[in-house]
Amino acid sequence: MLTALDKKLLQEVADLHGEPPGAFNIRKDGKGIERRSLEGIEIIPKKDQPGIDVIVAPGKKGTVHIPVIMTETDLSDLVYNKIDVGREADINLVAGCGIHNPGSGNTRHDGVHEIIVRQGARLIYTEKHFGEGDKEGKRLLNPKTVLVIEEGGYAELELVQIRGVDQTKRVTEAEVKAGGRLVIYERLLTDGEQTADSDVLVKLMAEESTARIVSRSVAQGSSKQNFYPRLLAYGAGRGHVECDSIIMDQATVRSVPEIWAENSEAELVHEAAIGKIAGEQLIKLMALGLTDEEAEEAIISGFLK
C-alpha cells in the first residue's frame, strides 16, 4: 500500500493523483510494488537483471507510467528498462524518479532506458527528477536514455530536474533514421552545492531525419552545471541545438554545443547563451506588487516552462 509520502513523490514526478491510468509499473526502494499490463501494452519484469520490458503492440494507443520512488537513506538502486513502441503506435510514457532521503547516508538511483520507436510510431516521453530531505544525506540521480527512431517515427523527450537533486549525470543518446523526427526539451535547476552534467549525442542517420535540442537551465547558489549537446549528421538531415542558462549568485555554467556534418546536404545550427536576470524584468514585476524574491521566482518559473 502506498503511504502519504509515496503519493507525494508520485505527484511530484509523475503528476499522479491516485492510481495511474493505463498500464503502469511503480518501483519503490529497489523493488517493483505495483504493476498493471493492458491488452497491447505488456509490462514484463526482467529475469536476468533489475528492470522491466515494456512492449507496445503495433497501432496501439495509450499511456504508460513507470515512475521510481525512494524513501530510505544509504540505498543505491540500479534499473534497466527496455521500451519497444510498435509500428504506428502512439504512446505517452511517463517515467521519472522522486527521492526522499530521511538520513545522513546517500540515496542513489541509476536508471538505463533503452527505447525503440518503430516505423511510423509516436512517443511522448516525460522524465522528471525531484529530491528532498531535511538531513545531510545526499540525493543522487544518474539517468541514461538510449533511443532509436526508425523510419518515419517521432519522439519527443521532456527531461526535467525540479529541485533537491544534489548530483546528476544525465546521458542521452539517439539515432534518427530516414524521415524520423526527434525533439528534446531539457529543463534543469540547481542550487547550493549541487552539480549537474548533461551529455547529449544525437545522430541523424539519413535524409529527412530531423532533430531539435532545447536546453533551459537556472544555476543558483554555488552550484555547477555542464552541458555538452552534440548533433552529428551522417545523412542529409536537419538539426538545431539551443542552450540558454540563467546564472545567479556564485554559480558556474559551462555549455559546449557541437554540430558535426559528414554529408554536404546536412543543415545544422547551434546557439548558446548564459546571462543573468535582467534588472528591468525585476523592476517591472515589483511594480506590480511582487517582492524581490517573488519576482525572481516568477522569472525563473517562466524561463523553465
Residues 227, 251: Cα–Cα separation, whole Å: 14
Secondary structure of residue 18 in the 3-state scheme? coil
Distances (CA, A) of 279 to 129, 284, 287: 30, 9, 12
Distances (CA, A) of 175 to 95, 137, 235, 237, 277: 21, 37, 12, 12, 36
pLDDT along the chain (305 residues), means of 10: 92 91 95 96 96 98 97 96 98 97 96 97 97 92 97 97 93 98 96 96 97 94 96 96 93 94 95 82 68 77 78
Q: Which amino acid is at 145?
A: T
How would you classify the pairing of strands 195-204 and 238-247? unpaired
Q: What is the pLDDT of residue 215?
A: 93
> Of 180, 186, 189, 173, which is closest to residue 214 (Cα–Cα)?
186
Q: What is the pLDDT of residue 135?
A: 84
Please provide residue 44's backbone torsions phi and psi, each rounded to the nearest 5 degrees. Answer: -120, 120
Only one residue has cell 527496455, namely 82
Residues 30, 7: Cα–Cα separation, whole Å: 17
Residues 291, 166: Cα–Cα separation, whole Å: 28
> Of 219, 73, 211, which is closest to residue 140 (Cα–Cα)?
73
Helix (H) or strand (E) holding 301: helix 292-304
How would you classify the pairing of strands 52-56 and 41-45? antiparallel
Q: Which amino acid is at 230?
A: R
Helix (H) or strand (E) holding 82: strand 75-85
Q: Which three cell numbers stand for residue 169?
A: 549525470
Q: What is the pLDDT of residue 282?
A: 61
How would you classify the pairing of strands 68-70 and 97-100? parallel
Secondary structure of residue 298 in the 3-state scheme? helix
23 alpha-carbon distance from chain centroid = 20
